[in-house]
Structure 1
Amino acid sequence: MSERTNDIEPLSVGARLERWLYLGLLALVIALPLVMTPYLSADTFDIAKLVALRLISLGLVGIWAFRVAIKKERRVRWSKLDALLLLFIMLVTVSTIFSLQPSLSILGKYRRFEGLLTFINYAAIYFLALQSFASFERIKVLGRLLSLVGGVVSIYGLAQFTGFDPISWPGQQFELWRSFSTFGNPDMLGGFLALAFPTALASYLDAEGAKDSTLYGIAFTLITACLLTSYTRGAWLGAVAGILVFALLVGRFVLLSPRKLAVIAAVFVITFGSIAFYSGTRAHNTNLLERISSTSQISEGSAGSRLEIWKAALRATEERPLLGFGPDTFNLLSQRYETVRYVKIVQGNSTADNAHNYFLQLAATVGIPAAICFIVFICAALFFARNSIRYYDANTKRVYAGLIAAAAGYIVYLAFGLSIIGSTPLLWLIIGAILSQAYFVHTNKVKAVPAIIAASATTLTFLIAAYLAVTMYAADVHFNRAMTLENSGNPDQAIASFDTAMRLYKNGLYFDLYGRYLQDIGLAKHDTSLLVKAKDIAETAADLEPNDSDHWIYLANAYATLTQGPGTGYFDSAEEALNKALAIRPYSPLAQLLLANAYEAEGRYDDVLRLLEFVRDVNPTSKEAYLLTAEAYKNLGNKELAVTYYKKYQSLNPRDTKVGQIIQGLQAIQRAPK
């Protein structure tokens, strides 16, 4: 009796590791867009995606390092473009060293996280994709998977558009019922959909058989609809650019599926018409047609504010053209260089933490040379990938064209939007995948010792990065718990959670909100020890991030609660802190308003009026500004102007009956015979 042999030989260890590497890259495509942790972490979206990115990347790097260690013959795929990428990472590293705040530039800003570690992560994903996507079938799977994930994300976004959202989201900062799905912001959702849109189109055109055609047709329809309901104009431009690139790359081959083209046209017309009609009814409050027409209004609304942000980015770039202010420091530099018009548009309520133009963002934060390296690398990669597909047949060409168009569309979106860790790593993955088949990519043997050293160093770097990400996430869970416990009537538990969060992650926002909480309960309980602790927390925040004006404002407020009036130590410290805030952000209305309060206590009424003129101009609805102005004029003996500003205050706050009595008293004095 003869022995039976298996028809399929088992994979070698090296082949298994290589397959796991490929599957891990696909896991990124699934996890990054979908993962979020509502009710658990304070930052529901980005910090959860950061953890997913770091842990999966650690696994990928570990698999690659182990493969390098066990293989007798070590081969690495590389392209001549890699030198540009390496130079880019080196420049970002130097920029981090000379950053306005190096610790921030390493980790990235809270809720953004695009610091040095993330840029290294991008480069690693590109490198591993270049090694792994060595066949057309794998590239095809990448495009199809991205399409399906885009469809899943879109289902939730469309549910939000129609008002059916199982999750209650507090503090929404944008128009009601705009789709934001698993990204937490319509702009960020739009960026991801601009990336998925061309791949969904290509997957539908490439699909064979009714089952696949239906599946990818539905995904394309969902993505198209959700892209519209995100109301993100930059993403719309990115999607249009993606379609144009796809059409140019595929050319006449797109005409091989006339029925599918007719279906696509019908889907768009029906989807657009339905959304336009529904959004214009009373059941909805965000009109699609009005949003489209506003695209041409570049000097008004959000478009106008972004023009002012771009001006700040250009001014910052002029100040530090070579190395910038450091990765992810845009919030700090925008405070220095924001325009008066921008402050008026937002009424001083916020500062820009992103340029809304990735190229300006890079130039201002990591310098012009690094920005040029990035732009040239991406453009060259797309150009060479485009040259490579000319030799493929129609089906293969459509798949490649879809991915190239996806990358091109996302780059166009980045000229008007934000780079986030839920989408941008997928851009680098796509670039690595489409270049893996390019004619100028080479495979070379590498020596054992340098390869093992490089693999070990990379693994250690990603181990540290993953540990930091998990620690930051744990801190955010404690911070969320502390915020939840604020109104529970048990401050001891809230304080314990705040303390744990700050111990795990030195995040300035944690310190600010913790200090404010201590101050509130200290005032409520008349507990001076809590007020002193709030002051200590605010001092720590200012020491930790001295280039953020908000910390100095919080510190000044903490000093003010402890002061006994002019001439005391805390009063002088509060005034000094406000002057530091204004040195960082000269156009801060809140700092000027608080400083006006201090000057009013000192009897410096002319200085009060000087500061409040700007505050009223920036925020015409500031009740406190009008009240302080009226009191300053009253103290200066100008009863007529005092009455004028008291009345303006009264129109904003009619419930304040005391002001009515003051007005009557001043008018009586004016009418009295002299």
Structure 2
Amino acid sequence: GRNPLLGPYLAYVAALLLATLASVDPRLSLWGRRVAPHGLATSMAQVAFFLLAAEALTDAVQVARVGPAIVAGTVPVALYGVVQQVGLDPIPWRLSPVWRPFSTMGSSLFLGAYLAMALPFTLAGLARASAPADTLRYGAVLALQALTLVLTRARSGWIGGLAGTLIFLHYLRRHGRLRKAGPLAGAVTLAGGLALLWMMLAVPDAPLAALSRAREGVGSFLSALRLASIPDRLAIWGGTLAIMPGHWLLGYGPDTYASVFPGRCPPAFASRLAPGAALFDPHNVLLNHLFSAGLVGLGAFLVLLATAARVAAAALGRAPEGEAGAIRAAAACSALAYVVYLQLNPDAVTLAALFALDLAVLVGGATGGGPNTP
């Protein structure tokens, strides 16, 4: 069968290639920055990963294996985040004024988005679990993921995770699979919240000794949720649009934002940004594509998203066909969590790779010769 995302993905790469050729710094746009590169080479690697994964997932058995693999991969990542939160990390990282665990992801924002994208796969495993041991295992992982996600204070991850989780729970309810996953998800969320409260009050000291610092602990947690970042983002978005004239068609080139924006941002917007703010992209995926590849690149990206949304809607509309059907629906919700997150924060290579895997799961079986259903 034909891969419905192949054409849009190739058109997307072609748009990025044109933007790289017309870039204000073609070499930088080709290879990207040394730290967290997002140049053409990285984008092409993402597309290659998608194509290889879609080609490898030739039948429902292989698709069904993806979910447990993703869930298992989150366990050490989430555990390390908890270890960092309680102050037991053996590596002396340089701490920010408001400490947020980042685990192996390098940023609490990326960690939050990663866990948000994994939640639907964990719920899929929980809904399909038949043995009590499997139910307990998936329930424990779900609690760990939810707890670590809350600890990141990553609001965009929370919103993305909430969107993906609610859509997936609706999918389970619609197809009569919510009897187990729904109550358990609620119980696990409550348990995670209670565990979080205990950690804020009791770690690293004994519970009774820490109760006197309860107000301080809660205040420190809530201080990370202040709304000061909203004016910053509005200033970034406004400044980005203000420097687009003359570059509407093909943009400035992939991964050139950090070198272009500080010198060209109008003072009216620059004065509203936090002093010393390091900006590597406009903190919005649509503006980032507009800046990097112009209207051509943004249009190609929107076509890719629209095609992926159509495929995802089809996966959510079908009744589960064994475990593979639920995994495809989970992949659709995981991709939704990613896109929601990207409306407020920058991308990461790990997140983009997981998104590519989500898309490969959605079309898995369409590119190979094996059966597409169990």
What TM-score bracket applies, with the shorter chain setting the length? 0.7 to 0.9
User: Aligned match of 1:247 in 169, 184, 209?
Assistant: 169
Query: Could you tell me which amino acid in structure 2 is paired with residue 424 of structure 1?
Result: A
CA distance in 2, matches of 1:250, 1:256: 5
CA distance in 1, matches of 2:132, 2:259: 54
Matches within 5 A, 1:412-427: 412-427=340-355
TM-score by length of 1: 0.50
CA distance in 1, matches of 2:217, 2:286: 35
The structure-2 alpha-carbon separation of the partners of 1:158 and 1:103, relative to structure 1 and needing over 3 Å to count, comes to same
Matched, 1:261 2:182: yes
1:117 is displaced (CA, Å) by 0.4
Matches within 5 A, 1:206-605: 206-253=128-175, 255-276=176-197, 278-279=199-200, 281=214, 284=217, 287-289=220-222, 291=224, 294=226, 297=227, 301-335=228-262, 336-337=264-265, 339-347=267-275, 349-388=276-315, 390-393=318-321, 395-437=323-365
TM-score by length of 2: 0.87
The structure-2 alpha-carbon separation of the partners of 1:259 and 1:123, relative to structure 1 and needing over 3 Å to count, comes to closer
1:394 is displaced (CA, Å) by 6.4
CA distance in 1, matches of 2:266, 2:218: 31
1:417 is displaced (CA, Å) by 1.5
- For structure 2, the 5+ residue unaligned runs are 202-213, 370-374
- Whether the 8 Å contact between 1:106 and 1:327 is mirrored in structure 2 is yes
Query: Could you tell me which amino acid in structure 2 is paired with residue 142 of structure 1?
Result: V
CA distance in 1, matches of 2:230, 2:96: 16
Measured against aligned partners, the alpha-carbon deviations of 1:311-339 in whole angstroms (never above 9, x if no partner) come to: 12222334411111010011122111255
Match of 1:175 in 2: 98
- Whether the 8 Å contact between 1:279 and 1:287 is mirrored in structure 2 is no
- Whether the 8 Å contact between 2:284 and 2:343 is mirrored in structure 1 is yes
Matches within 5 A, 1:573-652: none
Q: Secondary structure at the match of 2:116?
A: helix
Match of 2:211 in 1: none
Identity within the alignment, %: 25
- Whether the 8 Å contact between 1:238 and 1:413 is mirrored in structure 2 is yes
The structure-2 alpha-carbon separation of the partners of 1:145 and 1:339, relative to structure 1 and needing over 3 Å to count, comes to farther
The structure-2 alpha-carbon separation of the partners of 1:85 and 1:442, relative to structure 1 and needing over 3 Å to count, comes to same
CA distance in 1, matches of 2:5, 2:298: 15
CA distance in 2, matches of 1:259, 1:388: 21
CA distance in 2, matches of 1:374, 1:249: 27
- For structure 1, the 5+ residue unaligned runs are 1-76, 444-674
Bigger shift: residues 412-421 or 383-392: 383-392
CA distance in 1, matches of 2:270, 2:200: 30
Q: How many positions carry a matched residue from both structures? A: 355
- Whether the 8 Å contact between 1:357 and 1:418 is mirrored in structure 2 is yes
Structure index of larger Rg = 1
1:442 is displaced (CA, Å) by 8.1
The structure-2 alpha-carbon separation of the partners of 1:319 and 1:191, relative to structure 1 and needing over 3 Å to count, comes to farther
CA distance in 1, matches of 2:246, 2:130: 56
Match of 1:105 in 2: 29
